[in-house]
Amino acid sequence: MKRAFRLTALLLAALLSLPVSAAVQGDLNADGTADAADAVLLRDFLICAEAGLPDWQAGDLTGDGRLDARDLALLKQPILPENPGILEPKGTVHYGNATFYGGGYEGGCAMLDPVPTDIWITALNLPDYHCAELAGAFLEVTGELGTIHVLVTDLLPEGEKGDLDLYVDAFPLIAPAEKGKVPVSWKIIPLDSAADAPMSYKYKDGSSPFWCGVQVRNHRYPIETLEYLNSDGEFVALPRRNYNYFEAQSGLGEGPFTFRITDIYGQTVIDENIPFTPDEIQQGHAQLPL
């Protein structure tokens, strides 16, 4: 199936218009309370730099003059004490429709080339893909004929929430190919290749000590935030772009780097002594817990 990739227009159309000021600390949408809706706004800002947040002071709960994962954690503590996860509880089941197409192994929107050809892949709808939040997610997909595991490597811009566009050879494993479009359920599961290997890092083409894009690979669960340890001994969150790289506009220096990675369930690991190797994928030393 042919699919258009008008990412910028689609993302901009989905952005929220926020008020100029808020009377309550943490009340980003100025409805009088700091609640889950405000946490979603702050989360969207942190993971997708394109999302505007005019009244950023309302989210600066640490009072350090900037917004980062620590502010989100403080905002979430009083309103979501039963669920430390940022996106959803583990094992959450999603429902939608599956179609199929012949792409995704090369040139997918998640920019995960080269994708191993011994795994099945899928494109994911725009709401669930969410500014590359689920890029590289490993999904268990169930249809009328069975269940398969697929890696999210591409985007399905025209899909509704829950929809998947499976690789053409994977679709017949969950439903008859002649149906073309079928209902399915899916959930995020641990990436199997992460069971016995650490995460790795790819630096975007053109990266230098003065500008750098960093992509996390082989992560057990989808990545929510990537922070680096600066020269002052502070972790600084890098904004994520919709092409699945975390970007440092002023660079990170010569390296080696210390990264702090938080997944969509709020689990955090620190990976130290990561060399700056723009010409090759660099293996790290840590992996997210189960």
Amino acid found at 26? G
Bridge partner list, 263: 223
Both tokens of 88, joined, read 């959803």
Q: Is the confidence at residue 51, as pLDDT, over 60? A: no
CB neighbours of 149 closer than 8 A, spacing ≥ 6? 119, 120, 138, 139, 140, 141, 189, 192
Q: In the chain, what are the domains? A: 7-76 (1.10.1330.10), 94-189 (2.40.40.10), 195-283 (2.60.40.760)
pLDDT, tens digit, 9 for 90 and up, residues 259-276 = 999 999 999 999 999 999
Q: What CA–CA distance (Å, rounded) separates 219 from 201?
A: 10
- The strand pair at 164-167 and 120-125 is best described as antiparallel
- Residue 21: the pLDDT is 38
For residue 70, the Cα-to-chain-centroid distance in whole angstroms is: 18
Single out the residue of 3, 9, 170, 188 nearest to residue 93, CA to CA.
188
Within 125-186, residue ranges assigned H as helices are 126-129
Tell me which of 283 and 59 has the higher pLDDT: 283
What pTM does this model have?
A: 0.73
- The strand pair at 200-203 and 146-156 is best described as unpaired
Quote helix, strand, coil % in the chain, to nearest 5: 15, 30, 55
